[in-house]
Amino acid sequence: MAVENISDSIAMDSGKAIDFSSMKDSIQLRHGNYFILLSLLFFQFVNWCLKSHGPPKSLKDDEWKWRNLWVSWFHALITSVWVLTSFYRFPEVFADVILHVNYYTFFCACFATGYFTYDLLDVVINNKARAMWEVVIHHIMVAGMLYYNVYLKAQIGFSLIAMTVEVNSIFLHWRKLYQMTQVPFSSFKYAVVKYLNLVSFALFRLFPLAYITYTLFTMYHRVSLVYYVLIFVTMACMDLLNAVLFWRLVKSDILRGWASRGGTSARHSSSNGTGRHKSSPGLSHSNGNNNSISQNVATSPKKHA
């Protein structure tokens, strides 16, 4: 299969077979547990710094949501750099996404486990669990699967590929932060972020998840039945969810923009024909609606990174 061809190619380039068993034996689980705790404390510190600094004056929404989004943005940025450098430094990870492990990639999975554990606790402690029940379920599943991989010191390659979605999360959260601070939908900086969000969504969210789904059909015999069932159900849900989310983003940021411009042109034409200047209020109302719709669309996908 494709993965086996990659493995053969890497082995030929290196001139010798990769000893994955010795890589696993060199990793100590207690180091991973310590790093997960440090990750959790780090994000709590980031949250404390944001709380001490306070939200911008233009914020019209919930301050906790603003802080929570910023913490998520920092996680997405750090994890994205970590994952991409992992692929650059250790291309042999693709030789065996199940057995490959070293401290650099192992700690990356630990870092993400600490974040999702932190964020789950943040939601529960701030009494948001009932309103954000889907986030609670998502985080329990993700943190559980990540820690299972950390505990076994296996499937780290799968974890890294899955975490490439954080590249898109940078722009997804950035878009939402702009909306919360009332950045105009028609502004240049919002337009840049929304297009980067859509492009990165396809490259770093849809494609990696499709790759993992494909490998489920080629590597099912190398994992336990329980793990296979859990990851298969999780990926089926994530594939469907992200396809729907991508369509909603396109509809909100692209199709509604075209419809808005068409409606504005029609109102200007009507105004010119009757001699009444009503186009400006109409345009202002339209932009307000677009911002409201975009805010609603960005609320639910916030934690699907």
38 domain-assigned: yes
What's the pLDDT at 257? 63
Would you say 84 and 198 are in contact if contact means Cβ atoms under 8 Å apart?
A: no
- Is the CB of residue 207 less than 8 Å from the CB of residue 161? no
By three-state DSSP, how is residue 98 classified? coil
Tell me whether residue 190 is in a domain: no
pLDDT of residue 15: 38
* Residue 242: inside a domain: no
Q: Could you tell me the residue range of the domain that residue 21 belongs to?
A: 1-163
| Contacts of residue 213, Cβ cutoff 8 Å, sequence gap at least 6 | 235, 236, 239
Query: In whole angstroms, how far apart are CA 9 and each of 51, 94, 97?
Result: 50, 10, 15
Query: What pTM did the predictor assign?
Result: 0.77
Q: How many CA atoms lie within 13 A of 119 on its CB side?
A: 32
Judge whether 117 lies within some domain: yes
At 219 the pLDDT is: 81
| Total tally of structural domains belonging to the chain | 1
pLDDT mean by block of 10 residues, the chain; 305 residues: 45 56 88 97 97 84 91 97 96 90 96 97 94 88 91 93 95 92 88 93 90 84 82 80 84 73 48 40 34 36 42
Distance in angstroms (rounded) separating the CA atoms of residues 257 and 194:
12
Tokens of 231: 């990851």
Report if residue 227 sits inside a domain: no
Residue 268 in any domain: the answer is no
Is residue 112 included in any domain, yes or no? yes
Q: Report the C-alpha gap between 157 and 162 in whole angstroms.
A: 9
Asked if residue 170 lies in contact with residue 76, where contact means CB atoms within 8 angstroms, the answer is: yes
Do residues 179 and 291 touch, judged by C-beta distance below 8 A? yes
CA atoms of 25 and 217, how far apart (whole Å): 28
- What is the CB neighbour count within 10 angstroms for residue 83? 25
Give the single-character DSSP code of 95. Answer: G
Asked if 305 and 169 count as a contact pair (C-beta separation under 8 A), the reply is: yes
d(CA 230, CA 299): 27
- Structure token digits, residue 51: 């709380």
pLDDT at 299: 36
Q: Is residue 95 in some structural domain?
A: yes
Residue 238: CB atoms within 10 A of its CB come to 21
pLDDT for the residue numbered 261 = 60
Instruction: Summarize the chain as % helix, strand, coil (round to 5).
Output: 80, 0, 20
pLDDT at residue 44 in the model: 97
